[in-house]
Structure 1
Amino acid sequence: MTGKQRYFIELAYDGTSYHGWQIQQNAVSVQELLNKALTTILRQEIETTGCGRTDTGVHAREFFAHFDAEEANGLLFAGQNNKTETEPHAGDHGSKLRGLNSILPPDIAIKNIIPVHADAHARFDATLRSYQYHLHFHKDPFLHGYSWLVRDVPDMELMNQAAAIIMEYTDFSCFSKSNTQVKTNNCKISRAEWEKTDQGMVFHISADRFLRNMVRAIVGTLMMVGKKEMPPDAVREIIESKNRSNAGTSVPACGLYLTEVKYNYL
């Protein structure tokens, strides 16, 4: 008996070599390589839908996509990869994971493939997304491409005051790229704070959804506060203006990571 089964695929990737997640002309993307690998392993044409899109050079520690696959005589992927090899279909599931990882480049890793209900949607069903943005203050070849090197240490206390103000709002038009064709610029931010690390600082932000370029624009604006170019309260005027040109410049992509995506049924 043949039918279609929907799957979620969990992956992680180093975005340095890619023009983001989404397929585009004349540029290599993570989605393009994943589609080709799944098509090869499953011997049928596969198209994935991602939980969002990441820009060129942005990394993902956790990313989900969904796809549909024709199935003959049972599941192509049975259960999750935490099953033992003695359980039914677990070996086949593990072998397909290994097969995918063997043909994908080293900077893309498949973590899991999970059967889900037919209406499950990687983008629209996500209830929470979390990002981190990393800064460091001393030249370090092992952080190059994975954190933003900043010469002067910003005032973290002032930046956290401004971050707390940002959480009071929902319309973030001022932090979004123009002409993105979204229905609303409203987002519910549940966390926005800086913390010190051994290398420098990291900004944590979580919300139900994000606009294009939003996190990098927020970090750029908070850095203006941290450099004492404007007081924390100035972010109120920026947000209420709904004008992107009033906010700070976008910080480099290398320091940005998508770290968590949550669903009610996973």
Structure 2
Amino acid sequence: MYFCEKIELTRYFLKLAYDGTNYSGWQIQPKVTTVQGTLEKALRILVKDFRALIGCGRTDTGVHASEYFAHFDTELPLHSEFLYKINAILPKDIAVYECKEVDSQLHARFSADYREYKYFMHFKKIPFKNAYSVYHVKELDPDLLNQASKLLLGEHDFTSFSKSNTQVKTNICHVHTAFWEPIDDGLVLTIGANRFLRNMVRAIVGTLLPIGEGLEVPDKILKVLEKKDRSSAGKSAHPQGLFLNHINYPD
């Protein structure tokens, strides 16, 4: 009788950031360049035996992340200069800031209890901002935007703000914060929740725009939520203004 020796794996968490301009989102897909695929390619050079790289969530094509976490498991110890080496391999639009050993039960996606996005808009035509902020010709009223955004707070079914056929178990999300504030030549939305659905933030922004222009009343948000129908919400806002800004894990 033969006994298989149990393989001891160590889990590592990566903290990184990326400019999503040149990527078809985070998740690996055939025949396109993705952040996950690029990072896995770099990892294979340094950690020959690493298990699958798991990210904290999906970002769509052109969406950025100023804070993102991913984990992988390996049998082998990491090189003392791992951070330096992986950043030397990666392209300039992906940076790994930290790599630390964590408990094997900590999961980059499922252990996260809070996620926060920011969406940037500007109202003055500035070519240099276009990769990281969305130009909107007509200025928006922040008071109207905030009146509408407050209606998103709490636990709701966000089916109206989700891509169809995403195969998730539930469309219920708990939004903890949602507010707009002025920045140079524009506005930024900060929205945080326990979880987000695919395309949710961009669909919310697209629905808020006519409210900010004074074309719709803030209460429209409640009607859209009640309908649980994607066609009742606005078009998805452009991706380049969206940043995954913060992920929180329980202590």
Fold shared per TM-score above 0.5? yes
| Alignment partners' CA distance in 2, 1:4 and 1:169 | 38
Gaps of 5+ in 2: 1-5
1:40 to 38, 45, 48: 45
Aligned to 1:76: 78
1:4 to 9, 17, 32: 9
1:16 to 21, 29, 40: 21
Q: Size of the alignment, in residue pairs?
A: 246
| 1:144-163 alignment runs, 5 A limit | 144-163=130-149
Aligned to 1:84: none
Gaps of 5+ in 1: 78-91
Aligned to 1:27: 32
Query: 1:97-131, CA deviations, whole angstroms, 9 ceiling, x for partnerless residues?
Result: 01000000000000101111112110000010000
- The 8 Å contact of residues 39 and 45 in structure 1, kept in 2 or not, is answered as yes
- Report deviation, 1:198: 1.1
| Alignment partners' CA distance in 2, 1:44 and 1:166 | 44
Query: 1:109-165, CA deviations, whole angstroms, 9 ceiling, x for partnerless residues?
Result: 001011111121100000100000000011212202110000000111011000011
1:101 to 71, 87, 92: 87
- Report deviation, 1:2: 6.8
Query: 1:30-51, CA deviations, whole angstroms, 9 ceiling, x for partnerless residues?
Result: 0001111111012335420000
Query: 1:45-93, CA deviations, whole angstroms, 9 ceiling, x for partnerless residues?
Result: 542000000000000000001100112xxx426xxxxxxxxxxxxxx1x
Is 1:184 paired with 2:153?
no
Aligned to 2:109: 123
Q: Which amino acid aligns with 1:10?
A: K
Query: 1:179-220, CA deviations, whole angstroms, 9 ceiling, x for partnerless residues?
Result: 000000011100000000013100000000000000000011
Q: Bigger shift: 14-23 or 224-233?
A: 224-233
Q: Which amino acid aligns with 1:38?
A: L
RMSD across aligned C-alpha pairs, in angstroms? 1.4
Identity of aligned residues (%): 48
- The 8 Å contact of residues 160 and 233 in structure 2, kept in 1 or not, is answered as yes
Aligned to 2:99: 113
Structure 1 residue runs of 4+, over 6 Å off? none
User: For 1:3, what is the secondary structure of its paired residue?
Assistant: coil
| Alignment partners' CA distance in 2, 1:147 and 1:111 | 24
Aligned to 1:212: 198
